[in-house]
Chain A
Amino acid sequence: MIEIKDLHKSYKMGSNSLHVLKGINFSVEAGELVAIMGSSGSGKSTLLNIIGMLDEADEGEYDLDGIPIKNLNETKAANYRNKFLGFIFQSFNLINYKTALENVALPLYYQKMPRKQRQEKAMKYLEQVGLKEWSHHLPSELSGGQKQRVAIARAMVAEPKVLLADELTGALDSTTSYEVMELIQKINDQGNTILVVTHETDIAQMCKRIVYLRDGVIIKDEKVKQVRAKAHV
């Protein structure tokens, strides 16, 4: 699903340049649940942003489901993000004046899907994350866990090839974190490919594979025995 070869990225900081990714080789099969682990500054977020087409690599190759991701203009990148990727952020990033349902339906709006169809589909995904009764509430009326579940529904609604989650439990307490991870595992069980960036070991252990990143290189890449989150809830 994801094919990355010899990826480099550096940031210019005044006269110095900071080499963040120093040749990443990495691939993900369809249906995998991968955790990318590393301390801050290891380059894990940069890697995720490049995979998410929010940022561009300096060097190297990146194929997403056989499509080379290179030299995209803004409009094309936006269309690819819309069709191929779903994002889940640490700070949820819901639009605060839109209801849960409207937030979930937004990616479909950019696919130019008719309004009615959009709302039906968004409602279906809200139901999947267990928030059907909260569909007409604003984000400010939801708890942290509920917000993140709305964000997950929004990431899922366009049926993307890959879900990208950046520290998705970073703003949640551990009980809520496990509930959210349980949902992630459930979605993965349905065959969806998911990448999770985290620095929490227990969250990483709930994935099927862990990639360790340090100073811009992969130091370890191993399959692990998945800890089911349900046991902790």
Chain B
Amino acid sequence: MFSRDTWQEIFLTIRKNKLRTVLSGFTVSLGILIFVGLVGMTNGLQNTFEFFFSQDATNVIYIFPGRTSVPYKGYKSLRQIEFENDDLTDIKEDFSMFVEYISPRIFRSALVKYKEESNNYTTIGVDWGQQFAEKTIMMKGRYINQEDVKNRTKNVVIGRLVEQDLFGTMNSMGKFIDVGGSVFKVVGVFQDDGGDNEERQLYMAYTTRQLIEKNTDKIGQIVIGFKEELGYTGAMVFQRSLEKYLKDKKFISPDDENGFFVRNVADQLKQNQDFAGVLAIIAALVAFGTIIAGIIGISNIMVYVVKERTKEIGIRKAIGATPRSVISVILLESIFITTISGFLGMIIGMALLSTLGDKLMDDYFILNPGIGTGLAISATLVLILFGSLAGYIPAKRAARIKPIEALNDE
């Protein structure tokens, strides 16, 4: 069955019937190509989700102040809620089993000057924990620490691009800059994967910011890093009891959703993962459909091929071809064509995906699309298997028909 002669016969048939070969090969290549492309793009989309969430810590809850919408306990509605220093210490104490770190965020825009250079930047008053929430990476020096907060030092940590803007190629470490009228010493330079905006920010101790603003104790937003071992359910429990606790403390009605707002990164991550999961299922269904369509395509072509060759089969049988040899030649030809073109389609698809990289990131949110080699090969093998099966059935029928009937077939 696998003799050199058989293969020579098959190659000859393939060479002499180029249209037929190209037609069936093209169907298989296209099927695999679409499959690989589709799965690759879905993977790219999931990569993007992961990329977005990898920039900041996922075990973080943000609390933003708002305005009440219902009157409660003698307070009017539309009351502006503000957080203060003792809110930080109270949460830290009462939720000590959940909280890993806690930090305020006081956003202020300020004109920053160094010698001739000046520019407007966002400054953020923080505690040391903020570094972990934002996943800030220190390039030089250090982040704001507990000493800075305790002593209200005039130290500042600047973003990579702030240094570039103000100092050019010079080193900013230890230099003094003017931030909104006060002089600060640069103690660190950071970078952040979050993008250019985040690298055009400055961090200072929140207590220093409060001192500048007439020694107030307002703290803007609250960032709480909770212990990672809480998991998703733990985080949700923590969020609910924290909400209840704060509503109670700030005299906000239990039904009032506008007193403050909570952003739970763990919850958002879960939702996005669920969304990506559904997307993956849909893509898998479509990809599966593509494979089915490919199988149907190759089956149709095989039926046509065998039909076209009925007379030839009759001639071969009349001069002594056994049913086995008829089947094996047709089958090997179909396996050969599907294998070559299947793997060709697979390789083209994978090569195309690998050239894309992050080119589709900005417009289509597809990052590093790709497909597991194992999955691609399995899909190709499935198509080859069914392509052969699709060839086998008409080949067997052709081998069984009486030569005299096949000869009369025009």
Contacts and interface: CB of A to CB of B under 8 A. Distances in A.
Interface of A: 49, 52, 54-55, 74-75, 78-79, 81-83, 87, 89, 93-95, 97-98, 102, 106-107, 109-112, 115, 154, 158
Interface string B308-319: 000110111111
Given A87-B318, A106-B316, A115-B8, A54 B323 contact: no
Contacts of A78: 317, 320-323
Contacts of B12: 98, 102
B8 A110 contact: no
B164 interface: no
Nearest to A80: B320
B42 to A, nearest CB: 44
Contact of A87 (B319, B325, B399): B319
Contacts of A115: 5, 8
A162 B235 CA distance: 92
28 contacts: A52-B318, A54-B402, A55-B402, A74-B400, A75-B322, A78-B321, A78-B322, A79-B320, A79-B322, A81-B320, A82-B320, A83-B320, A89-B407, A93-B311, A93-B314, A95-B316, A97-B16, A98-B16, A109-B5, A109-B9, A110-B319, A110-B321, A110-B322, A110-B325, A112-B5, A115-B5, A115-B8, A158-B319
A22 B8 CA distance: 47
Contacts of A89: 407
B13 interface: yes
Nearest to B408: A91
Given A54-B403, A75-B323, A93 B13 contact: no
Nearest to B400: A74
A107 B320 contact: yes
A55 B319 contact: no
A97 B315 contact: no
The 6 closest A-B pairs by CB, nearest first: A82-B320, A97-B16, A110-B320, A78-B322, A54-B404, A75-B322
Given A49-B404, A54-B403, A55-B404, A111 B320 contact: yes
Given A55-B402, A93-B315, 11 more contacts: A52-B318, A78-B317, A78-B322, A81-B318, A83-B320, A93-B314, A95-B316, A97-B13, A110-B320, A110-B322, A158-B320
A82 B402 contact: no
Contacts of B250: none
A74 B322 contact: yes
Interface residues of B, number: 27
A75 B315 CA distance: 15
B182 interface: no
Interface string B383-405: 00000000000000001101110
B175 interface: no
Given A89-B407, A97-B13, A75 B319 contact: no
B328 to A, nearest CB: 12
A107 B317 CA distance: 10
Given A49-B404, A54-B403, A74 B320 contact: no
B17 interface: yes
Interface string B1-44: 00001001100110011000000000000000000000000000
Contacts of B311: 93
Contacts of B317: 78, 81
A20 to B, nearest CB: 13
B324 interface: yes
Contacts of B323: 74-75, 78
A107 B319 CA distance: 6
